[in-house]
Structures are given as C-alpha cells and as structure tokens.
Amino acid sequence: MTDQEQALELARAGDWERAHSLVQAHSDTLSCLIHGYLHREEGDLSNARYWYRRAGEAMPDNTLEEEWERLHQRKRD
C-alpha cells in the first residue's frame, strides 16, 4: 500500500494526524491533493486552497465524501 493509499484510509478512519504525516513527506500531485483534502476536513480552508493550487487545481466545490471518493479513484488511475 502506498503512503497516499494509506493516508486516504487513515483519513476515512479519523486518524487525521497520521494521514497528514504520510502525505506531508511527499510533493507529488496526488499527495498535494490529499494534503488539501485533509486541510479541508480540518476546516483550514486557506491552507487547503494552497495545497490544491500546488497540485495545479482549484479547491473543488464538493463534499468531503465526494472528494475522498475522487481522490480514492484517482490513486487507481
């Protein structure tokens, strides 16, 4: 299991700290998107926007559940 996959699973299980630690160590696009998602989940939207921009995307206007699903699907692509 990759760090990104594990971070998504940890986020789903409510372990924000461990999920954040895993993606913080990486700078690839998916890690930045997951990092942004985690900050959305935390409620830190300015930090979330930063990470989405770093991934080359605008912060999406979807639910956290929809975003988790999108990122989960993206890791398989």
Residue 76's pLDDT is 60
Residues 5-53 have pLDDT tens digits of: 999 999 999 999 999 999 999 999 999 999 999 999 999 999 999 999 9
Check pLDDT > 60 for residue 61.
yes
Cβ contacts of 67 within 8 Å, gap of 6 or more:
37, 40, 60
| pTM for the model | 0.94
How far apart (Å, rounded) are the C-alpha atoms in residues 62 and 18?
24
Residue 74's pLDDT is 85
Q: How confident is the model at residue 77 (pLDDT cuts 50, 70, 90)?
A: low
